[in-house]
Amino acid sequence: MASTFGMGTPMRGLAIVFLSAAIVVPTAHAELYYLIVGGIGGESRYEKIFSEQTQSLAQVAEQTLGDDLRVSLIYGEEATKTALKSKLQHLAESTSASDSLAVFLVGHGSYDGEQYKFNLTGPDISDDELLELVNAVPAGEKLLVNTSSASGALIGQWAGEDRTLITATRSGGERNATRFGEYWVASLTSEEADVNKNGIITAEEAFRYTEARVAGSFESEGTLATEHAQIEGDAPGRFIVARLRPRKSDTPKIQLLRDESQELEKQIDELRMKREEMGTDSYLNALQELLLELALVQRQIDEEQSVQ
């Protein structure tokens, strides 16, 4: 009879849970690109807030990548519909399926009951236009973070494989200026947000931190929350949005190890999709084997980085 723990949890399954939690999330893609957009503020105080938030996001992105070559930033008067289209069209031409893309929208949004629009200098961009442009970028994994009011109107519109959507509100009906952007920016440099203490902030870690801080801010004031953040997507826990310490350049050996790690992660995702088709023992055996391989590869990466 298999040994058990607590309420009958098999020790093998428990070991897999602990192993999964202990694995350091590696860089899973060849190149990561950031597009940061600061929309029109409408009032001087919001112009200042959005400018500061977008520039802070750009600084985090540059530290995460180790350079600014793959960081695009537009805000203020330069944040026009034409400029945004141009940036996304350029990314569509310069990225490949092995790359990943993170798009951050900071500003105001509006919703008329049928269509969401992100407020820009000049004509606004609609939800259909925005999602069509982002979809055209061939990057294999994409993250869209919309910190604007009414951003929840996008929920359900961008579902798909390897896509993660984060919105500041749960619907287009939450139209007040949001607090989400402030706390999202804070999460990307917070040791507290780094739950597993690996020096990396994933989209899921940033979201959970931000969600809690926003809710806490309303509770401390004794007021009813006017925004409720939402997240949907396949792998927010795997998408790296920030590093708490500058990243060293990868050696050729580390890059090969990262490629191996990426392949193992894909195999794990594919295996999880087949869970219902497999017997429990077969699934757990296969998962344990892949997780062990991934842990060993990550340990090699850590050892190589330690001698740099």
Full domain range(s) for residue 136: 32-243
- DSSP per position, 133-189: HHHTS--SEEEEEE-STTGGGGTTTS--TTEEEEESSSSTT--SPPSHHHHHHHHTT
Residues 299 and 213 in one domain: no
- Give domain status of residue 189, yes or no: yes
Residues 262 and 203 in one domain: no
- Give domain status of residue 4, yes or no: no
| pLDDT tens digits, one per residue of 177-216 | 999 999 999 999 999 999 988 888 999 999 999 999 999 9
pLDDT of residue 71: 96
Q: Tell whether the model's pLDDT for residue 132 goes beyond 90.
A: yes
| pLDDT tens digits, one per residue of 256-307 | 887 788 788 778 878 887 888 888 888 888 888 988 888 888 888 777 765 5
Identify the CATH number of the domain in which residue 109 sits. 3.40.50.1460
- Give domain status of residue 15, yes or no: no
CA-CA distance, 254 to 180, in Å (whole number)?
36
Pick from 196, 222, 243: which residue ends a domain? 243
Domain count, the chain: 2
Instruction: Say if CB 191 and CB 181 are below 8 A apart.
Output: no
pLDDT of residue 5: 32
pTM: 0.74
| pLDDT tens digits, one per residue of 13-43 | 433 443 443 333 434 446 899 999 999 999 9
Residues 187 and 96 in one domain: yes
Tokens 């999602």 appear where? Answer: 131
Q: What angle do CA 161, 162, 166 make, to 5 degrees?
A: 105
